[in-house]
Structure 1
Amino acid sequence: MMKAICPGSFDPVTFGHLDIVTRAAAMFDEVVVAVGHNMAKNGLFTPEERVGMIAECTADLPGVTATTFSGLLVDFCREQGIGVIAKGLRFGADFDYELQMAQMNGHLTGVDTIFLPTAPQWSFVSSSLVREVATLSGDVGALVPASVAARVQAKLAERTG
């Protein structure tokens, strides 16, 4: 059984993320969408809230699960029997960074990385941009699933209320 992981912060999950997860799910028997704990980042959502949104948005994809991890991604991969990291690339700068990470991950444990180019309609979308637009009262409904957009609005209202 081929098992892959799609790691990230997913704060919040976007249509760009879901594009990569959907395409990875077509290639592998099992795909784990893993939300990393990054203490340095002050996220809009908790890691557990992000996992819930991912699970809801991928419920119709067989073999896709969502979870959190901390520490080195490759250690998590080894513990879970995951042999492939699937990463989306939006533009050249993503490749420059991700290639170095892929080579380090391969060096540390032999875990391979595959790169999937983001579909053109999502190439400008990032979680940070979604948060910024939503914070400034912009409509993010075309960038994230409706349930995620509603959660973003509710979370921002909670913070300002």
Structure 2
Amino acid sequence: LRGEGFSLRRFQGWIYLVPEPGFEPDSPQELMPAQSIAWGGWRLVLEPAANPESVLPPIRVSTRQGGERIRLHPDGHSKSLKNWLQEQAVPPWERPRLPLVFAGSGDDAELIAVGDLWCSGQYSGSAPAAGWRLIVKREGD
């Protein structure tokens, strides 16, 4: 059911009031330190933690393209992002709009964050291993 600026949706027995999405770039965006990016109702920023000594790899933000894999633990196995989002009960209309954050470039790029649902320990917590903290928030939070 659609209204002006919103829609009502049903998922797993619940009714959701879903606002129309904000601006979402149509191509990946590079995230630079201390620079904020607005991404379809999300705000992302990369800030230094204490005194970062490591060189920051290229960080880019994009949406799902298909085939992405998530590694929840550094030494753990990876699993398909599609299956992980289903296991987390993320509503289907949110999945294609979630900002995905990758570190590195080309085929070596590693998924380091999925919206505000998960962030690699290298870029989160009080002492992130990379020396940089990734903040991902929904607008209005």
TM-score by length of 1: 0.26
TM-score by length of 2: 0.28
Q: Is the strand fraction higher in 1 or 2?
A: 2
